[in-house]
Amino acid sequence: MLLAKKLIDAAAEAGVDYVKFQSFVAKNLVSKFAAKAEYQKQNSGANESQLEMISKLELSKTQHLELIDYCQKKKIEFLSTAFDLDSIDLLKELGIQIGKVPSGEITNYPYLVKMAQSFKRIILSTGMSELSEIKDAIGVLCKNGIELSNITVLHCNTEYPTPMKDVNLSAMLTIKKEMGVNIGYSDHTLGIEVPIAAVALGAEIIEKHFTLDKALPGPDHKASLDPLELKQMVSAIRNIESAMGTRTKTASASEKKNMTVARKSIVAKIKIKKGETFSEKNITVKRPGTGINPMKWENVIGQVANRDFDEDELIEI
């Protein structure tokens, strides 16, 4: 629990919105015959089974309560992924409002039904899935009580770490277009570039593994961010969120003061006497932009000067 609380501390320090754990009953999740994934074998040894590995990582109800309380003290939201039906019941009992569906459960019909009946909002990870499978999962969720507007689909690749060539980030946009859902991205690449790019493309949720030390024992630490990298990612994402602005193209308040300096006006090209006709021979366009807008050029050409103008003087009509 000390390690878990230190992770919460690091997440709060980095400025993230939620810290997410995993809730499962190992014997309900994995059979004794289930093999480890290749990355799990490489990062945590091949001698133990997947069941033996995850049995050491179960969180009890008491531990859940302790972590929820600690998150409240740190002013960060608690979230957990339920991997089995009993764990869905536990999280619902503990008052969790958002259900997180991991990639491996996207084809688990009874699980999806119970998730839809237990939570108000659903976050659906889509690693290893086809578009048709995502559509089917969303259909089950909606049929069992979840509004489409309350579903956020996370594009994801479940290789740890994910090779850049396999990220396929543009698929996130396909999901949004085809499914009409909110989108996000669950990242397993090394580094922070791809999550930042995802936010620029419209991701509303970013999920990213982090650790206190990449050398810690366990399957995911090597592909996770350390606390400094997490802070850098959050800072960059906040900047991108701020930079996205609105879809309206207009001059911002900060740049308006530069308009008269950077734009131009119609000025006298040479000395012009009162009564002379403005033409391309005696007027031109120069800074500053405090006079007649050059877009009115055709309106000025052919008019008669109502006074004398010195070279470079702003034209008046």
pLDDT of residue 41: 64
Is 115 in contact with 101 (CB distance < 8 Å)? yes
Co-location of 211 and 193 in the same domain: yes
Amino acid found at 4: A
Structural domain total, the chain: 2
pLDDT of residue 43: 60
The answer, yes or no, to whether residue 62 has pLDDT greater than 80, is yes
The CA angle 110-112-113, to the nearest 5 degrees, is: 65
For 139-189, what is each residue's pLDDT tens digit?
999 999 999 999 999 999 999 999 999 999 999 999 999 999 999 999 999
Co-location of 122 and 97 in the same domain: yes
Neighbours of 295 (CB within 10 A): 8
In a domain, 93, yes or no: yes
Is 294 in contact with 264 (CB distance < 8 Å)? yes
Co-location of 158 and 269 in the same domain: no
Query: Which residue, of 244, 271, 288, is where some domain finishes?
Result: 244
In a domain, 309, yes or no: no
When pLDDT is averaged across residues 254-272 and rounded to a whole number, the result is 97
Task: Write down the pTM of the prediction.
Answer: 0.87
The CA angle 104-87-217, to the nearest 5 degrees, is: 65
Lowest mean pLDDT among 45-49, 93-97, 259-263, 283-287: 45-49
Co-location of 37 and 14 in the same domain: yes
Query: Which residue, of 244, 273, 291, is where some domain finishes?
Result: 244
In a domain, 137, yes or no: yes
Query: Which residue, of 244, 261, 292, is where some domain finishes?
Result: 244
When pLDDT is averaged across residues 286-309 and rounded to a whole number, the result is 98
The answer, yes or no, to whether residue 218 has pLDDT greater than 90, is no
Co-location of 274 and 152 in the same domain: no
When pLDDT is averaged across residues 259-272 and rounded to a whole number, the result is 98
Co-location of 153 and 85 in the same domain: yes
When pLDDT is averaged across residues 73-86 and rounded to a whole number, the result is 98
CA gap 78, 21 in Å, rounded: 8
Helix axes 131-143, 171-179, angle to 10 degrees: 40
Q: Which token pair is 7?
A: 């992770």
Residue 33's pLDDT band (boundaries 50, 70, 90)? confident
The answer, yes or no, to whether residue 53 has pLDDT greater than 90, is no
Containing domain of residue 192, as a range? 2-244
Co-location of 32 and 178 in the same domain: yes
Q: What are phi and psi of 308, to 5 degrees?
A: -75, 145
Co-location of 128 and 166 in the same domain: yes
The CATH number linked to 225 is 3.20.20.70
